[in-house]
Structures are given as C-alpha cells and as structure tokens.
Amino acid sequence: MNTWFDYRTVWAKHPWLLVYAVVVVLVLVLSVVGTAVGGGPLALLFVPALAGAYVHHLMVMKRVND
C-alpha cells in the first residue's frame, strides 16, 4: 500500500480534491500560527482543520479503486 501514490492518482482524476487538500492544509497552518501567537479565533480552526483532513482522506480512499 503506497498512500502517497494513491493520493496522487486520485488527485489526477479529481483535481477538486487536490484543491480541498490545499485549503485544509492552509487552514491547519493558520490555526497552528494562531495558537502560537496567543490564541484567538484562528486557534479555534485547529479541530475543524483536522476534521477536514480526515474527510479528505476518506474521500480519497473511497475513490482509490475507481
């Protein structure tokens, strides 16, 4: 099982999933920066970003064998 290869294969067939992944990573980075700076509203995005990453993973794994 090569997860990175699976992700790249699915992203090639479904480019919107790649866009979704980039957005999730950006929100995750913003939440970590918000936490490091001292909290605030950006820090609250950490858990939704993790949930978004998990949903992305599920969507990719559903489409691996298509």
Give the model confidence (pLDDT) of 15-54 as tens digits.
999 999 999 999 999 999 999 988 788 888 999 999 999 9
Question: How many distinct structural domains can be found in the chain?
Answer: 1
In this model, does residue 1 exceed pLDDT 80?
no
Find out whether 10 and 63 touch, Cβ atoms under 8 Å.
Answer: yes
**Residue 14, pLDDT score:** 95
Contacts 24+ apart (CB under 8 A), 54-60: 56/17, 56/20, 56/21, 56/24, 59/17, 59/20, 60/6, 60/7, 60/10, 60/11, 60/17
**Residue 56, pLDDT score:** 96
Domain range spanning residue 25? 3-63
